[in-house]
Amino acid sequence: MRLLHILLILLLCLGSCQQFRGSRDADGGKELETFPFQAKKNTTSSSISELGRFLYTDSVYTFAEGQKLMIQNSLPKGGVIAPDGSQYDDSKGRSFAFAVFWTRVVNEGHQILEIDMSFPSDSFAIFRDNDSFLKLFLPEDSLHVEFLSEFNYGLRDLKTYLDSNFNKSTKMFKRLYPGEEHMFYIATLAYRASGTPRAALFLKGNSIYYKMSLSELENGIVPCGQISFKHEGF
């Protein structure tokens, strides 16, 4: 399998949720005010409590013309792909460590927010073992707050999905009007790598990145898309 070698960027220790909390200026990394987790459109108080149980990072980004968005990332679920304890094995008989995360994006600005993301079919060599690699997927299954307490956050038929998409790129395009939000899954497979999985979607300018870690030394960052703001009617 051809590995897509990407620039490795060593991360600080990911053992504490607090290390990712806070907000950054999207244009220069300036520390901004940390905003509390607040109810948004169609988010009830019970939903807030349920989200908080699984929350890993909670960041607010500000942009020109007063645009603002919130990105929340979850802790992982997984290890196995089915309640019977099944691991994922590919067509070559290789066994993978599976983990699923969710990300929630809230458009807190007054313009339309467009999110354009993709993960390639290639694998990512972000671990120390030369034979190990990471694969990332964007399942299209609908995700709702009430699914969060379920096995693997409610993501089903994983064997079928992973078999069908193992050698394919996966994509997501979403348009959010002011006040709207979107939650989506990010599924991961790690080969010949073990540890405590932690991951987070974050922004640098208008570019989207995904950072994945199994330990302090087993980690890396993957570029995966762009955001843009548009006035209504364009």
Q: Which domain holds residue 113?
A: 3-10+22-230
Q: Between residues 102 and 50, which one has the greater pLDDT?
A: 102
Q: What pLDDT does residue 64 have? A: 86
Whether the predicted pLDDT of 77 surpasses 90: yes
Whether the predicted pLDDT of 11 surpasses 60: no
Question: SS3 of 50, please?
Answer: helix
Looking at every residue in the chain, the average pLDDT score rounds to 82
Q: What pLDDT does residue 156 have? A: 94
Would you place residue 3 in the very low, low, confident or very high pLDDT band (cuts 50, 70, 90)? very low
Q: Count of CB atoms within 10 A of residue 215's CB?
A: 17
For 137, which DSSP code? Answer: E
Q: Does any domain span residue 78?
A: yes
Of 5-9, 109-113, 180-184, give the lowest mean pLDDT range.
5-9
**CA-closest candidate to residue 230, choices 130, 143, 134, 116:** 116
CA atoms within 13 A on the CB side of 97: 15
Per-residue model confidence as pLDDT tens digits over 186-221: 999 999 888 899 999 999 999 999 999 988 878 889
Q: Between residues 107 and 17, which one has the greater pLDDT?
A: 107
CB 213 within 8 A of CB 14: yes
Average pLDDT value for residue range 159-173: 97
Q: What pLDDT does residue 83 have? A: 94
The token pair at 127 is 């671990």
Per-residue model confidence as pLDDT tens digits over 24-66: 333 333 222 333 333 344 444 556 677 889 999 999 999 988 8
Q: What pLDDT does residue 47 have? A: 63
Would you place residue 152 in the very low, low, confident or very high pLDDT band (cuts 50, 70, 90)? very high
Q: What pLDDT does residue 232 have? A: 77
Average pLDDT value for residue range 175-184: 97
Whether the predicted pLDDT of 10 surpasses 50: no
- For residue 139, CA distances in Å to 55, 136, 143, 167, 194 come to 20, 10, 10, 14, 23
Whether the predicted pLDDT of 14 surpasses 50: no
CB 102 within 8 A of CB 74: yes
Q: Does any domain span residue 194?
A: yes
Q: Does any domain span residue 144?
A: yes
Q: What pLDDT does residue 233 have? A: 64
Q: How many structural domains comprise the chain?
A: 1
Q: Does any domain span residue 16?
A: no
Q: Between residues 99 and 193, which one has the greater pLDDT?
A: 99
Q: Does any domain span residue 36?
A: yes
**Phi (first) and psi of residue 72, to 5 degrees:** -120, 135
The token pair at 223 is 């570029």
**Helix or strand holding residue 32 (H, E):** strand 31-32
Q: Does any domain span residue 15?
A: no
- For residue 177, CA distances in Å to 96, 110, 181, 201, 218 come to 38, 8, 8, 20, 37
